[in-house]
Amino acid sequence: MQAIKLLTILIALSLALLASEAAALPQPIPIPSPPALGADSYILIDYDSDRVLVKTNINQRHDPASLTKMMTAYVMFNELKTGHIGLDDRVTVSEKAWQEPGSRMFIEVGDKVSVEALLQGMIVQSGNDASVALAEYVAGTESTFAQVMNQYAQALGMTHTHYVNVTGLPNPKHYTTARDTAVLAQALIRDFPEYYQLFAEKKYTYNGIEQYNRNDLLWRDPSVDGIKTGHTEEAGYCLVASAEREDMRLISVVMGAGSETARISDTQALLNYGFRFFKTHRLYQAGQTLKETRVWKGAVQMLPLGLTHDLFVTIPQRQYKNLKASMTVHSLLMAPVKRGEQYGKVKVQLNGQTVSSVPLVALENVSEGSIWQRMKDEVLLMLQ
């Protein structure tokens, strides 16, 4: 009887010890429902993994107002990157640009203004006059430039977007969506990091007139480094923001908020939610050999497989140890092999649910082997 009592006490003590150890381990943070906002449509995505963390009416057509200037800037940045124009180029201001209604950087007819100054006037001061001047310089007319904008939109996968002007002035045929706008924000940061910093400038002075960036989050949240506001009566109050905290970058889009204050508070709520409850991890680097597999009838026997892009996943906080990665490879690889071709798949799961599935590709070319190598492998295949 004493032995049984002693065993019972030992078991109880062991269970208590295990429970205390489990309690001491970092526990997953419960994920609450995302914030409910009053805006017409909004989205929160992770820049690296492209995971959508919050979404409401993300494919609903919406007047973009001055968010249009994000695409105007994208086209201009590409012109600069390809060397078609330079920051020091002087642009002669037309009467049309000078007369453009709405927000202005206050250029005058006949002024010769540098491309750099016009970009700052368009991005920081949201100048409609600067936007038209830049469009005319590159494409001759605003309508022609808008056609170029639509071509870039299609190339970026912005399938629910159409532009007819470069300023965002209302037009029934001028529209976009929260999802497409998030895609554009990603592209600006990814493709033009050297110019993206313009969106972080808090103020700009031209012609003796100092104007402040309308994105109030640049002053309120040090992690925010862009990107654009917009407002018309038709569009309501819009804001695209990007913030980076501890190597994690989020992009939020709020469209159709009721006021300047609302678009700021809505955006801050989205960003805080994403950073508080989620974490982005880079699992594999592009070009890293993840697996080697046999190549038959080739000049070499083993082929390294990997990824064309870094693999990021965004998951709830404190769940990294629960990730499981698996790889599947085509059963029979025959030379020749072309670098970049898919020969398998990498699948990442969290608690049994797939969070990412990406192609496993050849990292090297493999040419056909000699006649002797091909004959030898043919025999080996027959034996197998």
Active-site residues, by number, are 66, 69, 126
d(CA 280, CA 298): 39
Look at the block and give the residue holding tokens 């493709």. 191
**At residue 241, what are phi and psi to the nearest 5 degrees?**
-135, 150
Residue ranges with strand state E in the chain: 41-46, 52-56, 90-92, 112-114, 203-206, 209-212, 224-232, 236-245, 248-257, 278-284, 291-296, 302-306, 311-316, 323-329, 333-334, 342-350, 353-362
Class of residue 353 by CB neighbours under 10 A (exposed 0-12, middle 13-18, buried 19+): exposed
Burial classification of residue 204, based on how many CB atoms lie within 10 Å of its CB (0-12 exposed, 13-18 middle, 19 or more buried): buried
- Residue 39 contacts residue 28 (beta carbons within 8 Å): no
Give the integer Cα–Cα distance in Å for 329 and 321. 25
What is the longest distance spanned by two Cα atoms in the chain? 105
CA distance 187 to 137: 23
- Between CA 127 and CA 314 the distance in angstroms is 37
Question: What whole-number distance in Å separates Cα of residue 178 and Cα of residue 64?
Answer: 9
Length of the chain: 384
